[in-house]
Structure 1
């Protein structure tokens, strides 16, 4: 028994040392952040901001790669099938990890089983906006305009919480807004007038709103946005709460060693707390959260249940 106990202690100590060494050796090469949407969106901007500064923390380059298509599921599937070694990390939003599974059938990965939450980085407000040519000055006029002639709205496609929010708003207002799915960001077409409306996170919309190229009509949160105090919430506009605030976060493939995920979590949270990062993201109207993995996991579980109920209620699945 004494011999066995000594052997057990030796093996345990060796494994602990191996785990520690493995974690300490990471990273020995560039780390890749995968964004499942086109460059130029809010998620992409946040991810690149963190990547640039994280490189100085981990002492290795942190590159960003956009793998777009199928409402973010192509990039997500790529990371899910990547080696669980800490070198391929997913930058995702809540649509990818808490909604897509209830709307898009036969996903090639499991949002619940294939990813480890690391950090919820920021939260973003969602707005319904139109281009300068739309002849409506407020939400009420926009709704009436759509009843006379259908109005198209560009969106990230099936599986997006922004699309679900707009369909909820459409049903509550009895308006006639028509979904036009895009791969990636559709702002160029909206601003040019090819599509009159879009519903999206505030960050990429903000400079165009300030330039007068886009007009906000509705904010999809429970209270008015402090930067746009004249824009009503969905409840104020149509009498029904439509809340679609997005969060952006970081995820590792399941099976990634705890020592590595801990380093990633601590590194990303350190970057998010840096005044230089705060200045950049706050300017884009992103609310920095820096939520640790344990709390982040609980939020994801609760949000999945919420989205599942909404999808069933509005029959949003294919």
Structure 2
């Protein structure tokens, strides 16, 4: 009788734990251990810097350490795949950018994943500022000077890029003028070669540009922001120069594996939104040239789809392809 009684009660208990109430309890208890946040770029660059700032703030919100893990290479695909294939328990997250989440899956001949099926959108993180920079030794003072120099010697100059946004912006700027582009795993490596003279131009983030501009080692010619940046107020915007075609906006957001429970997704999103509203976090991100803002999972999913469609439209309009 005792064994039958135990078995009779065991099934209802197991069923109850499998119901949404059980999922709700799991979300309330989350997180019970450190959370891993994977970023697809090398340390020292813009994406790494802003990820670490937000990870610190998120740790305070969640009451658990958020550990940043760098997995550079393959346009962020390696990092994205590590998260897509992870257990959907909220302990492995992705800091995704438009390189891994839009460019790689839409422009490669063999897409590594469907970004709308392989990930769970959690919240936006915000957008990077970008500046077109050249070495101070290059005899150009403006975008017009640079374009004239490139046109005079087709294929003689090199550009650097570490993500699809910077590469596409450069292609839009050049408008068919021939420059050899070199791809890097992160902005810091690209900047090193720019300073060394191996490359002559690149679009880089506000994380790196201001310090090198102020010490006279590089010159910034234009920013992709809608208005001048407070980081480099003397640098004109693309709109001021009549370069309205430079429409690329590099953004970042948080994603989880597919199947991430709604309760955990909502909890993470709320914590991220609070993190980005923290004045101390906001100030540190601003110093990196990053405009931080969060969204609900539903709003971020809408934003993600709109950014994807706009990016693909721009690429098709300009006949751009990436290998």
Residue 315 of structure 2 is aligned to residue 311 of structure 1? yes
Which among 133, 138, 159 is matched to residue 137 of structure 2? 133
Question: Paired residues, what number?
Answer: 307
Residue 281 of structure 2 is aligned to residue 277 of structure 1? yes
1:291 aligns to what SS in structure 2?
Answer: coil
> Which residue in 1 is equivalent to 2:51?
47
| TM value normalised by structure 1 | 0.89
Q: Which 10-residue stretch deviates more, 201-210 or 226-235?
A: 226-235
Which among 182, 185, 193 is matched to residue 183 of structure 1? 185
The whole-number CA distance in structure 2 between the counterparts of 1:285 and 1:235 is 18
2:207 aligns to what SS in structure 1?
Answer: helix
The whole-number CA distance in structure 2 between the counterparts of 1:302 and 1:175 is 30
Q: Is the 8 A contact 2:122 2:300 kept in 1?
A: yes
- CA displacement at 1:151 relative to structure 2: 2.0
The whole-number CA distance in structure 2 between the counterparts of 1:237 and 1:83 is 48
The whole-number CA distance in structure 2 between the counterparts of 1:28 and 1:227 is 39
- CA displacement at 1:267 relative to structure 2: 1.1
2:49 aligns to what SS in structure 1?
Answer: helix
Unpaired runs of 5+ in structure 2? Answer: 1-11
The whole-number CA distance in structure 1 between the counterparts of 2:224 and 2:319 is 20
Residue 108 of structure 2 is aligned to residue 110 of structure 1? no
- CA displacement at 1:239 relative to structure 2: 4.9
The whole-number CA distance in structure 2 between the counterparts of 1:240 and 1:270 is 34
| TM value normalised by structure 2 | 0.87
> 1:204-262, CA deviations, whole angstroms, 9 ceiling, x for partnerless residues?
22222222222111222444445445434445546552112211211111101111111
Which among 21, 38, 62 is matched to residue 58 of structure 1? 62
- CA displacement at 1:293 relative to structure 2: 2.0
- CA displacement at 1:80 relative to structure 2: 0.9
> Which residue in 1 is equivalent to 2:296?
292
Unpaired runs of 5+ in structure 1? Answer: 1-7
> Which residue in 2 is equivalent to 1:263?
267
Q: Is the 8 A contact 1:38 1:184 kept in 2?
A: yes
> Which residue in 2 is equivalent to 1:37?
41
> Which residue in 1 is equivalent to 2:84?
80
